[in-house]
Amino acid sequence: MIKVGVVGGTGYTGVELLRLLAMHPDVELQVITSRSEKGTCVSDMFPNLRGHVDQKFSDPDVKTLSQCDLVFFATPNGVAMRMVPELLSHGVKIIDLAADFRLKSAEEWEHWYGVPHACPELLSEAVYGLPEFFRDEIKGASLVANPGCYPTSVQLGYAPLIKNGLIDAANLIADCKSGVSGAGRNSSVVNLLAECSESVKAYAVAGHRHKPEITQGLNTVSEGVSLVFVPHLMPMIRGIHSTLYATLLDSGSGSGSDLQTIFEQHYENEPFVDVMPQGAHPETRSVKGSNMCRIAIHRPNNGNTVVILSVIDNLLKGAAGQAIQNMNIVFGLGETKGLESIAILP
Amino acid sequence: MIKVGVVGGTGYTGVELLRLLAMHPDVELQVITSRSEKGTCVSDMFPNLRGHVDQKFSDPDVKTLSQCDLVFFATPNGVAMRMVPELLSHGVKIIDLAADFRLKSAEEWEHWYGVPHACPELLSEAVYGLPEFFRDEIKGASLVANPGCYPTSVQLGYAPLIKNGLIDAANLIADCKSGVSGAGRNSSVVNLLAECSESVKAYAVAGHRHKPEITQGLNTVSEGVSLVFVPHLMPMIRGIHSTLYATLLDSGSGSGSDLQTIFEQHYENEPFVDVMPQGAHPETRSVKGSNMCRIAIHRPNNGNTVVILSVIDNLLKGAAGQAIQNMNIVFGLGETKGLESIAILP
Amino acid sequence: MIKVGVVGGTGYTGVELLRLLAMHPDVELQVITSRSEKGTCVSDMFPNLRGHVDQKFSDPDVKTLSQCDLVFFATPNGVAMRMVPELLSHGVKIIDLAADFRLKSAEEWEHWYGVPHACPELLSEAVYGLPEFFRDEIKGASLVANPGCYPTSVQLGYAPLIKNGLIDAANLIADCKSGVSGAGRNSSVVNLLAECSESVKAYAVAGHRHKPEITQGLNTVSEGVSLVFVPHLMPMIRGIHSTLYATLLDSGSGSGSDLQTIFEQHYENEPFVDVMPQGAHPETRSVKGSNMCRIAIHRPNNGNTVVILSVIDNLLKGAAGQAIQNMNIVFGLGETKGLESIAILP
Amino acid sequence: MIKVGVVGGTGYTGVELLRLLAMHPDVELQVITSRSEKGTCVSDMFPNLRGHVDQKFSDPDVKTLSQCDLVFFATPNGVAMRMVPELLSHGVKIIDLAADFRLKSAEEWEHWYGVPHACPELLSEAVYGLPEFFRDEIKGASLVANPGCYPTSVQLGYAPLIKNGLIDAANLIADCKSGVSGAGRNSSVVNLLAECSESVKAYAVAGHRHKPEITQGLNTVSEGVSLVFVPHLMPMIRGIHSTLYATLLDSGSGSGSDLQTIFEQHYENEPFVDVMPQGAHPETRSVKGSNMCRIAIHRPNNGNTVVILSVIDNLLKGAAGQAIQNMNIVFGLGETKGLESIAILP
């Protein structure tokens, strides 16, 4: 049994992580911390966990956490980086669901997150936990930076085309739609049901923190990636739908069925990427509650522009599910363990 | 492995049943029938099942179905009763998720469902599959009538009070709120998102088919039950919230905490009934995707009226989940097998 | 032109009031105050008002407000009572959309709202602004207490039966369902879309502030009213659906059609109460954006229990619309002026 | 008073048109037809119209319709073209809310709508009813082809840039998001709340009927337009959000503020186009129930790609509202008459 601690269990990635950990056969949940909710029963805050998680939230304490084999951080950005070095020194493995270790450049991190990085020396050591890109590196990792939700869906959608040199990587357009759980469980007016239900809007068109993460990731596949990234808020709880546009470099080379084959081959051994049949339109609900990413590829009118549709559950493959997948890889378990749940439909 | 057939797998109880069966460790899914969708891949209709259910819908055929150990009917009302007698004669166990075998009186059945019953002689043999009421009878049953969604939440809410003779069973008021998946996956204008989103309405106030089912069930607990039942349509997919009103017979006898104790004792060994702490307000989302029924009891101002709040997922404890629970009981498996999933929140 | 001021325009009743005032032909909007948003353009906060309301929020200032003919308070409970006496002394008419002047008893007010009342001497002078009950009193009023949303729908639903002495007023059950805009535009976790979408729950079963208001109002129709009131939160923005239960005193006297006639006669001259045809199930969407209350009456199985269904838009007839209706009455305008908008469907 | 007939009043554009007509001061509603609902009270089908529209649906009859000054067609595609020639011969003005007269080429019409056009000779005579493009032509028109919902939002968004020759019109990408009322009030499984709530999907990526309409319209502004158009279904009732991408031809020429000025000047006299302040993110709810189109323009990172955000209510500016606007222009009324309603928020 892997002894697991969770730091910051009061948000949506936190409760989803606890749900998955409670159902995982090889995990023993040791400690769940929350500075603000110390002493509260976890299942009083999240009644879905009644009968499954009977701990109380405790103060985050390095000594207690050091007795875990693995600590997940489901904290706001900037928290993990202040505790991780000491935990690593005690031999604890770390999976950070926040953004603290996603970017390789401390300068870029400071630019986007507004404070200096607390342990820039760890940025190169941290492995970016997108298994479809870095499975081998994750295997031996002590510190895994779990990817963001948008970046997961966008990188998985573009990767086969970029890897095969088929598109102009310098002119990518990612139009992404997310449910509001992506904004977190924070008291705020803008995410009230009465504000964001029955409405759609774009946000952060001028710049979003997930853009450098996407660019950095895709640049490991091929150089020169440049992206226009426009996130939108959807009137729903869960799900991301990324609509990805790219220009084919050689319009004669790739027919629609060729592209389909390239995707199918690229992902044929991936347990959590499902290339849909040609012409399909994946719905976000087809992955609700599951760790799958479903992708379809289109080439309208056989023109120069390819359109890739990529859907995930932002709290599973976009957060807690991928974190479990990374845990499974780090500890040499079957990669799908504890992640076999089928998406709930309707 | 139990060899299972599903007749009528194209509705919401059907897809939920298939999802649960696909994750059940002791089940081998042999055949899934649909007259209208014969030849269609099940996972083309329900993409959440991609990679988990690879069968095609086939014509319902008694010969094939007879080779199953168990056949579930997830058909419209009135279909099962025409096939069940022959299947029973082949030794196949039956769990009917429709209403064909729920009422004991053929006359009443005809009154509410509009056609004569095809096999009234089986009505007394059929066991009403509410495990909290009839667990022992289900154990040896060949034919289980899986309860309706509203009746499940209402009967579980009233039972402890009626059994203990605390309320006036002749004056019950059940104000029930259901998500629209309860209306089924049928093309209809009234259940379009543009019709029933951002709106609430009562329906069938003059009379609803679930009322005689509730009355019949509660009358097995104590005689003389009479009920006003008002169902409402909620702008959401899943979930039933039953708000149950009753008058205490002896207003001096039962304080709030006494009532709490009565509920806790009544359900202390039930794996799928969770009596919430005193003063709680269960949310339907706390059971979304799980087979739990969560109940809270209130006595406002210490007055004569008790208010019971009972929530279920209409597709789980109100349909497919309870059907799996019944299967587990019939075949002597652990009652919670395949039903361990924790509710999804948010 | 009536010179109007609005104190506290940043909530949902505030923005709805501003929308209605901006479309009212006899109103000149002089000043809109908000302590927290001083200097902000109203239409920057509420972009629907762009081109219609060009003022900025200003500090609430008695001198400026004193130059208005009428001041609306759309503030949190407890604010109006500290400014109203001085405004009244300057001859300004007041319509308070909060609860400060709804209850006649200062003790009861303090019990439910947690602070002593600042001007208890005004409670008897204030007129309860439910025009269907107190139209004549509103005509000459200086201070109108605009009713709460639940109380409006409940009182309009019960009034004809109580007035005609047909039901046992001491045993009323009001099961009410409200959209989340009723909870206001406050940053809070519980009203996030990700918390209250796709879910239904009861709340405040032990006691809700609107209960004494309902009881007080119905007691002006007939003595001895006692009520069990259970509010529920619906996953939608606007709308209240009250399902009202009552016991007929003489079960032989009133057939369904008699009751229908009683309602139709009671409301035949009311511009904003629509008695639906017998057997109807009013939907909240049928009043979305309009000041109508639609009511239907049922007597299931011709039994002792009558069921009244009453729907309003909580922000119109339940708040800002009724406030405009009161303004029209106070100033002798046509009662429907500025309230002619037809409900938006779908 | 303009005597108006409505053919096909049972869909969402129909009921919205009736709502607007009932509130229009210069309109007398003469006849509302529906073959399938003949004899039904309009307000029984659409209870929001109770007290405002008291007609019954009648059979569509040319003789009766010929006595109108104006007939609106709110019918499925392919119906209007079979009645319009005869009505025109009687001097009746026509505004068709369907697609029958939107395309100038009969061949293209047949390609996209699957049947030969019934009166191709009228296609050149019909005026495309986008007032911001063709106000002068609409003034004298007998036959107005009311634009589609997506085409309205897309054309208004791109027009200023194309007119000023600033972008590469041959490489446009329109990523559009629509509420489900755009799919009409037809019984269908795919638009059930339980199917399309809590989910997002793209559809018709291979080709959508609105694409040739957009291309034809923008080609009247400047030649050589080519478009990738990807519509998406949103889990909400009303609203279209078009996210429009284009490449600047001269990346040095237009700073963000220049582009802002170009948009503001282009639309400065338009009553129903609101250019939002620089950096804004218009929400669809800011136009819910109003005839406004709100537009914001972005140039992320001062790069080559401009992003235009354009929102409308698909049933108002995208259908019935624009039809009223066209009526006002055709009959020389004030263009905003009957369209002054402010958007409902929340």
Q: Two tokens at C216? A: 């007080």
pLDDT band, very low/low/confident/very high, at A187 (cuts 50, 70, 90):
confident
Query: Active-site residues of C: which are they?
Result: 149
pLDDT tens track for B40-86: 999 999 999 999 999 999 999 999 999 999 999 999 999 999 999 99
* Calpha distance C314→C312 (Å, rounded): 6
On chain D, the residues whose CB falls within 8 A of the CB of A285 are: 198-199
Say what the pLDDT of residue A30 is: 96
Cα separation values, D146 from B214, C183, D319, D321, Å: 53, 40, 7, 10
Say what the pLDDT of residue B257 is: 72
Q: Two tokens at D193? A: 């709340």
Residue A197 has pLDDT above 70, yes or no: yes
Nearest Cα residue in chain A from D236: A198
Answer whether D48 sits within 8 Å of C343, measured CB to CB.
yes
Task: Give B91's DSSP letter.
Answer: T
Answer whether A288 sits within 8 Å of D243, measured CB to CB.
no
Answer whether B309 sits within 8 Å of C197, measured CB to CB.
no
On chain C, the residues whose CB falls within 8 A of the CB of D12 are: 346
8 Å CB contact between D343 and D286 = yes
Residue bearing tokens 């222009």 = D329
Answer whether B237 sits within 8 Å of D187, measured CB to CB.
no
Answer whether D185 sits within 8 Å of B194, measured CB to CB.
yes
* Calpha distance D125→D135 (Å, rounded): 15
pLDDT tens track for B136-181: 999 999 999 999 999 999 999 999 999 999 999 999 999 999 999 9
Say what the pLDDT of residue A255 is: 61
* Calpha distance C171→C283 (Å, rounded): 26
pLDDT tens track for A211-253: 999 999 999 999 999 999 999 999 999 999 999 999 999 866 5
pLDDT tens track for A8-42: 999 999 999 999 999 999 999 999 999 999 999 99
Answer whether A241 sits within 8 Å of D202, measured CB to CB.
yes
Answer whether D195 sits within 8 Å of A346, measured CB to CB.
yes
Query: Active-site residues of B: which are they?
Result: 149
Separation in Å, CA of B343 to nearest CA in chain A: 5
* Calpha distance A303→D59 (Å, rounded): 46
Answer whether C194 sits within 8 Å of B346, measured CB to CB.
yes
Testing the interface with A: which of B48, B197, B241, B292 to mutate, by most A Cβ within 10 A? Answer: B48
Residues 6+ apart with CB under 8 A from C128: C102, C134, C144, C145, C147, C217
Compute the count of residue pairs across chains A and C with CB atoms less than 8 Å apart.
64
Cα separation values, D90 from B71, C297, D68, D93, Å: 66, 49, 10, 9
**Does the ipTM surpass 0.90?**
yes
pLDDT tens track for C26-72: 999 999 999 999 999 999 999 999 999 999 999 999 999 999 999 99
Nearest Cα residue in chain A from C237: A194
Query: Active-site residues of D: which are they?
Result: 149
Nearest Cα residue in chain C from D236: C346
Nearest Cα residue in chain A from C239: A194
Separation in Å, CA of A14 to nearest CA in chain C: 14
Mean pLDDT across chain C, nearest whole number?
A: 96
8 Å CB contact between C84 and C132 = no
Answer whether C344 sits within 8 Å of D19, measured CB to CB.
yes
Q: Two tokens at D61? A: 């009859």
pLDDT tens track for B102-132: 999 999 999 999 999 999 999 999 999 999 9
Helix (H, G, I), strand (E, B) or coil at C48: helix
Angle CA(C322)–CA(C324)–CA(C325) in degrees, nearest 5? Answer: 60
Nearest Cα residue in chain C from D345: C48
Question: Please, which chains are in contact with B (at least 3 CB pairs closer than 8 A)?
Answer: A, C, D
Separation in Å, CA of D287 to nearest CA in chain C: 6
pLDDT tens track for C211-238: 999 999 999 999 999 999 999 999 999 9
A286-318 as b/e: b if 16+ CB within 10 A: bbbbbbbbbbbbbbbeeebbbbbbbbbbbbbbb
Say what the pLDDT of residue A256 is: 62
Q: Does domain A150-314 have CATH number 3.30.360.10?
A: yes
Q: What is the pTM of this model?
A: 0.97
Separation in Å, CA of C65 to nearest CA in chain D: 26
Residue A254 has pLDDT above 60, yes or no: no
Instruction: Spell out which chain B residues touch chain A, with contact meaning CB-CB distance below 8 angstroms.
Output: 12, 15, 19, 22-23, 46-52, 181, 185, 197-198, 237-238, 274, 276, 282-283, 285-290, 294, 340-346
Separation in Å, CA of A240 to nearest CA in chain B: 15
8 Å CB contact between C313 and C284 = yes
On chain D, the residues whose CB falls within 8 A of the CB of C342 are: 19, 22-23, 48-49, 52
Compute the count of residue pairs across chains A and D with CB atoms less than 8 Å apart.
136
Separation in Å, CA of D186 to nearest CA in chain B: 6
B93-129 as b/e: b if 16+ CB within 10 A: bbbbbbbbbbbbebebbeebbeeebbbeebbeebbbb
Instruction: Spell out which chain C residues touch chain B, with contact meaning CB-CB distance below 8 angstroms.
Output: 173, 175, 177, 179, 194-195, 197-203, 205-207, 228-230, 232, 234-239, 241, 243, 245, 279, 281-285, 288, 298, 300-301, 303, 305, 307, 309, 311, 346
pLDDT tens track for A55-92: 999 999 999 999 999 999 999 999 999 999 999 999 99
Cα separation values, C18 from A198, B10, C272, C324, Å: 21, 49, 20, 10
Question: Where in chain C are all domains bearing CATH 3.40.50.720?
Answer: 2-125
Answer whether C228 sits within 8 Å of B245, measured CB to CB.
yes
Answer whether A205 sits within 8 Å of D173, measured CB to CB.
no
On chain C, the residues whose CB falls within 8 A of the CB of B239 are: 198-200
Residue B187 has pLDDT above 90, yes or no: no
Query: Residues in chain D with pLDDT < 70?
Result: 251-256
Nearest Cα residue in chain D from A294: D201
Say what the pLDDT of residue A339 is: 98
Residue B255 has pLDDT above 90, yes or no: no
pLDDT tens track for B91-105: 999 999 999 999 999
pLDDT tens track for A320-332: 999 999 999 999 9
| Identity of the residue in B173, B199, B239 whose CB atom sits nearest the CB atom of C283 | B199
Testing the interface with D: which of B12, B193, B314 to mutate, by most D Cβ within 10 A? Answer: B193
| Identity of the residue in D186, D187, D196 whose CB atom sits nearest the CB atom of B193 | D196
| Identity of the residue in C235, C245, C298 whose CB atom sits nearest the CB atom of B234 | C235
Testing the interface with B: which of C180, C196, C199 to mutate, by most B Cβ within 10 A? Answer: C199
Number of H helices, E strands in chain B: 11, 14
Phi first, then psi, for residue A150 (nearest 5°) are -55, -50
Nearest C-alpha neighbor of B174 from the set B195, B147, B149:
B149
Nearest Cα residue in chain D from A239: D199
Testing the interface with B: which of D34, D180, D186, D192 to mutate, by most B Cβ within 10 A? Answer: D192
Residue A275 has pLDDT above 80, yes or no: yes
Question: Where in chain A are all domains bearing CATH 3.30.360.10?
Answer: 150-314
Instruction: Return the CATH architecture of domain D2-125.
Output: 3-Layer(aba) Sandwich (3.40)
C149-163 helix and C256-266 helix, angle to the nearest 10 degrees: 120
Beta-ladder partners of C70: C4, C93
pLDDT tens track for D210-263: 999 999 999 999 999 999 999 999 999 999 999 999 999 986 655 667 999 999
